[in-house]
Amino acid sequence: MTKKIIEKLLAEKKYAQIKDILSALNEVDLAALLEELDEKDMVKIFRLINKQEAALTFSYMNSKMQETLIKAFTEKELKEIIDDMFLDDAVDFLEEMPANVVEHILSITDKETRSQINTLLAYPKDSAGSIMTVEYVDFKKEMTVGEAIHKIKSIGVEKETVYTCYVIEQKKLIGIVSAKDLLTSSDDSLIESIMETNIIYANTFDDQEDVAKLFQKYGFMAIPVVDTEHCMVGIITYDDAINVLQDEVDEDISIMSGMTPNEDSYFGTSVFDHAKHRILWLLVLMLSATITGTIITRYEDAFSAIPILVSFIPMLMDTGGNCGSQSSTLIIRGLAVDEIKLNQVFKVMFKELRVALVVSIVLSIVNGLRILIMYKNPMLALLISLSLVCTVIMAKLVGCLLPMLATKCKMDPAIMSTPLITTLVDTGSILIYFQIATHLFHLS
């Protein structure tokens, strides 16, 4: 909609009207609009955006568009954008750019910004350091509330958040003051008297996911980051934490469905990349499923003698797979949100065992009755019911143990989910089924 209007106005060179429309849009929506336009129009429209909104809009755009814009920018325009961007956004953006572009950009920024950017770029991917910003407001404990508010007024507009301010003494973090405390205290109170000293903080090398979980647990707006000497080096804000949480969920869900995680969008990923992300697990699982097939061939005599045996294979395999995947999903989520701990492995096993008993007895009764009615064959009903009970118990135990084992081996437990569990449980169900069949029907 807006896209068509903008293109029409652009063709008619009605720039003032375009500016009016643009100024009514939030930066996130501006970025989305620009991404819809073709390159030439996009550059033209970007130059019509209010100066205050340009940098933020730029940081919301995707890397491809950012690169296009940079190529079109004059050196002056580029410097302005980088200077106006929040430091953590600038770092996120630079991380996606080719080396020569990064070099060019760093060469035109001033010395202080350059050194700050370089420090942030050096933190390992996925560490707290890599998502923090060094732009925060710091106070001394001897300041009064009035002085503190004055400090915010003079410098705060450049800082990413002014809502949580930090009290620093000899580079160490000694207290936290919220803007709410400042606004609701009298001007002559001392910072020392209103600051919170029980501080929850992160270390620069903490995993970003662990830091994001702190936001979720405590509902903070910002968390301070300290280095190994406990000196304050930056803050992480809640908007970055929400993104980390969402990315981690997407990553887990991908792995749980047997795909390599992919940060790009569905339509933004090419057919070959989609295939690449999916083929590895499919190959592994396809080849391991042939093991189940090989086991079946060992029981050729059994199903030659009683051909109906074959027809229960899909039902047993599917039920086993579904039971296993229910358990593994619960355990993977429980581990992810820290509700289940590794030392509770026996508690989990005991719980799953009891659940498996209840579930498998219900399934066995329903299926046993169905077979009795349909085939009037009590031995067959007994075989399927017994196999179901054993399969469900085996599936639930495998489903809860493997994710915990993966965590113990410092692997992502999400790997041990539906596809892998299904394949493993399949082999187990077939073995159980034909073993019981061989005994019940005295085959070979």
Among 230, 354, 408, 439, binds its own copies (CB under 8 A): 354
Q: Considering only residues 178-237, where is the footprint of its own copies by CB under 8 A?
A: 179-180, 182-184, 198, 200, 215-219, 221
Q: Which stretch binds its own copies (CB under 8 A): 85-93, 96-104, 203-211, 312-320?
A: 312-320
Among 1, 99, 314, 373, binds its own copies (CB under 8 A): 314
25 lines the binding site for its own copies (CB under 8 A): yes
Could you tell me the maximum CA-CA distance found in the chain, to the nearest angstrom? 94
Neighbouring residues of 84: CB distance < 8 A, sequence distance ≥ 6: 51, 54, 55
User: Containing H/E element for 255?
Assistant: helix 238-256
Beta bridge partners of 139: 167
322 lines the binding site for its own copies (CB under 8 A): yes
Closest approach of Cβ 122 to its own copies, in Å? Answer: 26
293 lines the binding site for its own copies (CB under 8 A): yes
Nearer to its own copies, 43 or 361 (CB): 361
Taking CA atoms, 113 is separated from 118, 123, 157, 249, in Å, by 8, 16, 17, 33
Residue 88: exposure state from Cβ atoms within 10 A (0-12, 13-18, ≥19):
buried
Among 202, 235, 330, 406, binds its own copies (CB under 8 A): 330
Q: Which stretch binds its own copies (CB under 8 A): 25-33, 37-45, 70-78, 112-120?
A: 25-33
Distance, CA of 393 to CA of 386 (rounded, Å)? 11
Distance, CA of 84 to CA of 277 (rounded, Å)? 37
Q: Which stretch binds its own copies (CB under 8 A): 2-10, 69-77, 361-369, 401-409?
A: 361-369
User: Containing H/E element for 223?
Assistant: strand 222-226
Nearer to its own copies, 221 or 440 (CB): 221
Beta bridge partners of 144: 190
Helix, coil or strand: residue 168: strand
Q: At what angle do helices 39-48 and 27-36 cross, to 10 degrees?
A: 150
Among 57, 226, 423, 432, binds its own copies (CB under 8 A): 423
Among 193, 246, 369, 378, binds its own copies (CB under 8 A): 246
Q: At what angle do helices 63-72 and 87-96 cross, to 10 degrees?
A: 90
* CA torsion through residues 63, 69, 74, 79, sign: negative
Closest approach of Cβ 444 to its own copies, in Å? Answer: 15
The neighbour count for residue 211, using CB atoms within 10 Å, is 22
Among 76, 122, 188, 272, binds its own copies (CB under 8 A): 272
Among 267, 376, 442, 444, binds its own copies (CB under 8 A): 267
Q: At what angle do helices 313-336 and 238-256 cross, to 10 degrees?
A: 160
Helix, coil or strand: residue 86: coil
Q: Considering only residues 59-88, where is the footprint of its own copies by CB under 8 A?
A: none
1 lines the binding site for its own copies (CB under 8 A): no
Q: Which stretch binds its own copies (CB under 8 A): 97-105, 320-328, 404-412, 435-443?
A: 320-328
Among 52, 339, 408, 435, binds its own copies (CB under 8 A): 339
Helix, coil or strand: residue 276: helix
Residue 67: exposure state from Cβ atoms within 10 A (0-12, 13-18, ≥19):
middle
User: Backbone phi, then psi, for 51, in 5-degree steps?
Assistant: -55, -40
Q: Considering only residues 148-177, where is the footprint of its own copies by CB under 8 A?
A: 149, 152-153, 156-157, 162-163
366 lines the binding site for its own copies (CB under 8 A): yes
- Whether 397 and 312 have beta carbons less than 8 Å apart is answered as no
Q: Considering only residues 96-125, where is the footprint of its own copies by CB under 8 A?
A: none
290 lines the binding site for its own copies (CB under 8 A): yes
Among 129, 224, 234, 334, binds its own copies (CB under 8 A): 334
Nearer to its own copies, 362 or 411 (CB): 362
Nearer to its own copies, 106 or 289 (CB): 289
342 lines the binding site for its own copies (CB under 8 A): no
283 lines the binding site for its own copies (CB under 8 A): yes
Closest approach of Cβ 164 to its own copies, in Å? Answer: 10
Closest approach of Cβ 157 to its own copies, in Å? Answer: 5
430 lines the binding site for its own copies (CB under 8 A): yes
Up-side HSE of residue 106: CA atoms within 13 Å toward CB?
18
Q: Which stretch binds its own copies (CB under 8 A): 77-85, 94-102, 105-113, 350-358?
A: 350-358
387 lines the binding site for its own copies (CB under 8 A): no
Nearer to its own copies, 122 or 373 (CB): 373
Helix, coil or strand: residue 436: helix
Rg (CA), the chain: 30
325 lines the binding site for its own copies (CB under 8 A): yes
Neighbouring residues of 124: CB distance < 8 A, sequence distance ≥ 6: 130, 205
